[in-house]
Amino acid sequence: MTNDNNKNKRSLTSRILIGMFTGILCGFLIRTFLSGNEIVDAYIVNGLFDVGGKIFIASLKMLVIPLVFVSLVCGTSSLKDITTLGRLGGKTLAFYIGTTALAISLALVMGIFFQPGSGADLTSATTFSTAEAPSLGQVIVGMFPSNPMAAMSQGNTLQVIVFAVLFGIAISLAGEAGQRVSNFFSDVNAVIMKLVTILMEVAPYGIFFLMAKLFTGLGLDAIANLAAYFLVLVAALLIHAFITYSVLLKVLSGLNPLIFWKKMKDAIMFAFSTASSNATIPVTMETATHRMGVSNKIASFTVPLGATINMDGTAIMQGVATAFIAQAFNVDLTLGDYMTVILTATLASVGTAGVPGVGLIMLAMVLNQVGLPLEGIALIMGVDRLLDMIRTAVNITGDSVVTCIVAKSENELDLDTFNNPKAGEIKLDLKHKA
């Protein structure tokens, strides 16, 4: 076997890992040895890296709306019985809200126990102004599109989900005409999934550019001052991800968590590098359907919905941040206040769009609710980007866990695919299919 052949055999996961680590290393090296060099800044960092990274993110986002719409139309139109949809929706929502409430409770317990904010230096706090967080009523009304084309062009995932579900139901009720439309959508779906695999093939380069650009500018000095906050938050995220999710998966669906984690690697790295659950939807969907064996019927509904409303990682950040800010400003929160935090952070995470940095803005909603100063947000802003990357990875892992549990309970998960380590590995064949 030649060397060339071996090179082609390197798995996508290891190529993404290489892209990620060389990108981080490159960013650090430039920051350490070449910072201030105008040529490097202009042509490499703000030229090549910036352009490459932006093209990558744009191409991922390009796929989100067509993929969500088409696959959800396929999923809903293939439902034999509309009542299934109600059961599916209820179950999914209950799991999404339940896991988020669990996440935030864990975060609060850790925040209270480890006291990351006691003795924090407040002098560095600058004022922080934030946009008004929307109310729950606004979030619900906002789910219904008055113009589906506008919803698509604005990338409003929730509105597109609602329209696609209604459209799919109508297809399933429209007899022969519906069948023809449904066949057409299944073909389009296959083509879009192919596009996802093509994009995943070039992803290692995109991830390299993203990481290299980010780490040339990422100030990590702030981490030293906020070490306690940072560590407690990362620990809470890891415990929720590795312990809560593994236990839920095993107990509620009997699936092997180790296999689950192995198959999640690519999606996790995408979420980490993009810090956007939304941009990661194509990869999460591909992982759930092709690697884990979840039927498109379930995944097309649970994955985009989860990426939009289920943010366990974000809720954990909000819990630890609330405890931290209360301690730093010497405000005593009562048990009632903590209950309010659990409720509002769960709602806030529903209202948080899956894009970088929004979790911090939604934190304002939680702080307001218990009368904590919004300036506290400025305190933790300096370390938020790195934490955003980690919590986004947790967010999409939560979506995938619930997707597997719901699919298994509905008999819509193919165990052979799930248990086969090689299932769904991306292999791109650029030859025409006859």
Interface residue list for ligand ASP (CB under 6 A): 275-277, 311, 314, 352, 354-359, 388, 391-392, 395
Identity of the residue, 324 or 418, whose beta carbon is nearer to ligand ASP in the bound complex: 324
Cβ atoms 380, 229 nearer than 8 A: yes
- Output phi, psi for 294, to 5 deg: -80, 140
CB of 314 to ligand ASP, least distance (A): 3
- Shortest reach from residue 355's CB to ligand ASP, in Å: 5
User: Would you say 289 or 349 has its CB closer to ligand ASP?
Assistant: 349
User: Smaller CB distance to ligand ASP: residue 73 or 158?
Assistant: 158
Q: Which amino acid is at 370?
A: V
> Can you say whether the dihedral through the CA atoms of 59, 61, 67, 70 is positive or negative?
negative
State the nearest-atom distance from the C-beta of 180 to ligand ASP, in Å.
37
Cβ proximity to ligand ASP: between 286 and 312 the closer is 312
Instruction: Report the residue number, 181 or 374, with the smaller CB distance to ligand ASP.
Output: 374
Shortest reach from residue 267's CB to ligand ASP, in Å: 12
Report, in Å, the least distance between residue 307 CB and ligand ASP: 7
Task: Considering the complex, state which of residue 105 and residue 274 has its C-beta at the smaller distance from ligand ASP.
Answer: 274
Rounded to an integer, what distance in angstroms lies between the CA atom of residue 397 and that of residue 307?
10
* Residues contacting 367, CB < 8 A, separation 6+: 322, 325, 373, 374, 376, 377
For residues 253 and 277, which CB has a smaller minimum distance to ligand ASP in the complex? 277
Instruction: Write down the least CB distance from residue 316 to ligand ASP, Å.
Output: 10
Among residues 168 and 354, whose Cβ is nearest to ligand ASP?
A: 354
Smaller CB separation from ligand ASP, 163 or 270:
270
User: Residue 392 phi/psi, 5° resolution?
Assistant: -65, -40
Residue whose CB is less far from ligand ASP, 255 or 386: 386
- The CB-nearest residue to ligand ASP is 359
As measured in angstroms, the least distance from the Cβ of 401 to ligand ASP is: 15
HEC states along the chain? CCHHHHHHHCCHHHHHHHHHHHHHHHHHHHHHHCCCCHHHHHHHHHHHHHHHHHHHHHHHHHHHHHHHHHHHHHHHHCCCCHHHHHHHHHHHHHHHHHHHHHHHHHHHHHHHHHCCCCCCCCCCCCCCCCCCCCCHHHHHHCCCCCCHHHHHHCCCHHHHHHHHHHHHHHHHHCHHHHHHHHHHHHHHHHHHHHHHHHHHHHHHHHHHHHHHHHHHHCCCHHHHHCHHHHHHHHHHHHHHHHHHHHHHHHHHHCCCHHHHHHHHHHHHHHHHHHCCHHHHHHHHHHHHHHHCCECHHHHHHHHHHHHHHCCHHHHHHHHHHHHHHHHHCCCCCCHHHHHHHHHHHHHHHHHCCCCCCHHHHHHHHHHHHCCCCCHHHHHHHCCHHHHHHHHHHHHHHHHHHHHHHHHHHCCCECHHHHHCCCCCCCCCCCCCCC
Closest approach of ligand ASP to the CB of residue 388, in Å: 5
Q: Least CB distance from residue 354 to ligand ASP, whole Å?
A: 4
Least distance to ligand ASP, CB of residue 137, Å = 22
Name which of 116 and 354 has its Cβ closer to ligand ASP: 354
Least Å from the CB of residue 59 to ligand ASP:
17
